[in-house]
């Protein structure tokens, strides 16, 4: 077992190219997974690579570095399109978790119930994967392949997320449903982002649902139907059962599959209403 804590990205990438590592930063997924047992695997701690800590607006993108925590997101000055992301940040675990856990870790952990994924999907987030071989950009929707499965190669590090400027327009919101107030794994969650044209008609719509399929999903049929609608309370009437047909919820200790499917629709209607109400103020 080895341990390394480089402070330069290049060193981290060299190490990754040259061995089998578990990557940690906040540790909020790593330690729970080993239960009470000691660490026996090699660990690459990237938390000292300070160049990955930035949130910045550049070159037509918002870029969120791999070390940005949920608390950093809550504190950051970001456009309203990121409100969904900020709302999800407040519902991830607890303050203790938000202070340590990173967006990048949430994505790489690839849990179906990852609270950060639906809001990032409505921002059309692209993940930046870096290795000694170079950098490739992969849309988030393609990065996560299944329950705990991603396309991250063993020598790659998720170094950041990029949100295209055109996707950081409009207003957004997020709702999470759990069986208790804090520290709860989602039964279902919904994020949405709506942008309007000058006439107050929806020109861009993005809606995603988490914890109702192996990977959180966008709802393209619903999004298409929303385009051209007026930004009003009537938006809550737009979603239909068919819009949610692509979900594949499971029954587990938290809820039944049928309930999840219905809750997804209810939450979606409410999220759309919240955005419409917010935009009128």
Partner 1 sequence: MKLSFTVNAKQVEASAPPVERLSDVLRQELGLFGTKVGCNAGDCGACTILMDGEPVCSCLVAAAQADGCDLVTVEGLTDNETLSRLQESFLHFGAAQCGICTPGMLMSAKALLDRKPNPSLDEVESALGGVLCRCTGYRKIIDAVLHAADFDGEDIAPQAGSNVGSSIRHLDGRPKVTGDLSYAADAVPEDALALRIVRSPHHHAGFTLGDKESYIARHDGVVAVFDAGDIPGRNCFGVIPKFADQPVFAENVARYKGEAIAAVVGEPNAIRYLDDAAFPVTWEVLDAVLLVDEALQPDAPCLHEGRPGNVMVRGRVEHGDAAAAIEASAHRVSVSTSTPFIEHAYIEPEAGYAYRDGDRVVVHGCTQAPVMDRDSVAEIMALDSSAVRVIPSACGGGFGAKLDISFQPYIALAAWKLNRAVTVAYSRGESMMATTKRHPSAIELSVGCDADGKITGFDFDGVFNTGAYASWGPTVADRVPIHASGPYFIPNYRATSAAIHTHTSPAGAFRGFGVPQAAIAQECAFDDLADKAGIDRLQFRLMNALDNGMRTSTGQVFEKGVGIKACLEALGPAWSAATKRSREFNAKSNGSSLRRGHGIASCWYGCGNTSLPNPSTIRMGITSDGKVFLHQGAMDIGQGSNTVISQIAADAFGVPVHSIELIGCDTDLTPDCGKTSASRQTFVTGSAAKLAGTELRKMVLRKSNAGEDAVISLGEGVLTLHDGTSTVQVDLAALDCNQHGYVFMAEETYNPPTSPLDENGQGIPYAVFGYGAQIVELTVDTGLGTVKIDRITTAHDVGRAINPLLVEGQIEGGAAQGIGLALMEDFHPGRTENLHDYLIPTIGDVPEFENIIIEVEDAEGPYGAKGLGEHVLIPTAPAILNSIRNATGAVVRDLPATPDKVMAALKLNDRGQYND
CA 252 – CA 243 distance, rounded (Å): 23
Residue with tokens 């103020």: 281
CB closer to partner 1, 51 vs 96: 96
Helix locations, the chain, DSSP H: 9-17, 30-33, 70-75, 83-90, 95-100, 103-109, 117-122, 140-143, 220-226, 257-280
* Contact between residue 216 and residue 112 where contact means Cβ atoms under 8 Å apart: yes
CB closer to partner 1, 12 vs 177: 177
Torsion sign over Cα 229, 193, 177, 233 = negative
CB closer to partner 1, 158 vs 187: 187
CB of 192 to partner 1, least distance (A): 17
CB of 236 to partner 1, least distance (A): 11
CB closer to partner 1, 24 vs 125: 24
CB of 181 to partner 1, least distance (A): 3
Residue with tokens 């950060």: 116
CB of 74 to partner 1, least distance (A): 11
- DSSP 8-state symbol, 141: H
CB of 95 to partner 1, least distance (A): 6
CB closer to partner 1, 145 vs 251: 251
CB of 106 to partner 1, least distance (A): 13
* Contact between residue 212 and residue 193 where contact means Cβ atoms under 8 Å apart: no
Question: Which positions lie near partner 1, rule CB under 8 A?
Answer: 3, 5, 24, 26-28, 30-32, 35-40, 43, 45, 47, 71, 90, 93-97, 99-100, 177, 179-185, 187, 253-256, 258-260, 262-263, 266-267, 270
Q: How many residues does the chain have?
A: 281
Bridge-based pairing of strands 202-210 and 188-196 is antiparallel
CB closer to partner 1, 99 vs 165: 99
**Of 62, 64, 84, 89, nearest to 74 (Cα)?**
89
């Amino acid at each position: 077992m080895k341990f390394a804590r480089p402070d330069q990205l290049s060193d981290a990438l060299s190490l990754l190219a040259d061995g089998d590592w578990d990557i940690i930063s906040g540790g909020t997924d790593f330690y729970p997974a080993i239960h009470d047992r000691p660490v026996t695997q090699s660990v690459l701690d990237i938390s000292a690579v300070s160049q990955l800590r930035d949130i910045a607006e550049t070159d037509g993108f918002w870029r969120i570095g791999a070390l940005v925590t949920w608390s950093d997101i809550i504190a950051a000055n970001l456009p309203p399109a990121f409100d969904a992301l900020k709302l999800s940040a407040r519902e991830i675990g607890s303050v203790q978790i938000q202070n340590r856990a990173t967006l990048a870790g949430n994505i790489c952990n690839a849990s179906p119930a990852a609270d950060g994924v639906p809001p990032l999907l409505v921002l059309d987030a692209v993940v930046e994967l870096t290795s000694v071989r170079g950098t490739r950009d992969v849309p988030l929707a393609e990065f996560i392949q299944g329950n705990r499965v991603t396309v991250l190669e063993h020598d790659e590090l998720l170094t950041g997320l990029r949100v295209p400027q055109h996707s950081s327009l409009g207003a957004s919101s997020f709702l999470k449903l759990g069986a208790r107030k804090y520290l709860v794994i989602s039964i279902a969650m919904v994020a949405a982002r709506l942008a309007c044209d000058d006439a107050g008609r929806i020109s861009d719509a993005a809606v995603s649902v988490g914890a109702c399929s192996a990977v959180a999903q966008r709802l393209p049929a619903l999004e298409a139907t929303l385009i051209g609608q007026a930004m009003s309370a009537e938006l809550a009437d737009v979603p239909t059962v068919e819009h949610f047909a692509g979900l594949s919820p499971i029954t587990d200790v938290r809820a039944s599959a049928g309930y999840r499917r219905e809750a997804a629709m209810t939450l979606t209607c409410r999220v759309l209403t919240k955005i419409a109400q917010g935009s009128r103020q």
